[in-house]
Chains A and B, each alone.
Chain A
Amino acid sequence: MLIGRVIGDLTATYKHPSQEGRKILLVQPLNLDGTERGVAVVALDAVDAGIGDRVLVVTDGYAAFSALGRDLSPIDMAVIGIVDRVDLVSDAGTPGVSPNQQR
């Protein structure tokens, strides 16, 4: 799973039937310190998240389509939670520093 921020949404009239009826969110993956990491992805919404929310995203097909209740659909990412808080040991949010290196 990834932590990301919802930075937008998109509309699509012509789409595969499995994509109907859910918000289509743009999610920017984040580092633990809150900076952006990589390129934003498209995920279907399973929890009613909104723009600006910090969210949990699954990036496996089975996890994504079961969270949405749509078996064997062409869906590989879904927003499955809204993050309230992340607690870390000190400095764990620094990019490139693994938790093991700090002990």
Chain B
Amino acid sequence: MYLGRVVGRVWSTVKNPGLEGKRLLVVQPLTPELEDTGKPLVVTDSTGAGSGEIVYWVRGREASFAFLPEEVPSDTSIVAIVDEIHVNRKKRADR
């Protein structure tokens, strides 16, 4: 899974019926330090995330499993809204 920030929303009228009623959001991938990394992408949302929220998302076939038993043609889905991140990059002496 990958960290990202919701930076926008996509509206689409004509689309595959499987996407009916699914929110399409634009997500900017982030580093754990919350700096932008890589290019923004469009994802489906299984959580109700809103603009500006930090989320993590799944890539690949598993993205469509977020909506089972519905079959949604999606390859990227938000699966959680992040509350807090703890980062400690210091190496442990014994590892």
* Chain A residues at the B interface, C-beta cutoff of 8 Å: 5, 7-16, 18-19, 24, 26, 28, 39-44, 51-54, 60-61, 64-65, 72-77
Contact = CB atoms under 8 A, between A and B. Distances in A.
Contacts, number: 113
B51 interface: no
Given A40-B32, A61-B61, A65-B62, A11 B83 contact: yes
A81 B70 CA distance: 33
A39 B79 contact: no
Size range of the interface on B?
Answer: 35 or more
Contacts of A18: 65-66, 79
B83 A12 contact: yes
Contacts of A28: 89
Contacts of B61: 61
Contacts of B68: 72
Contacts of A72: 65, 68
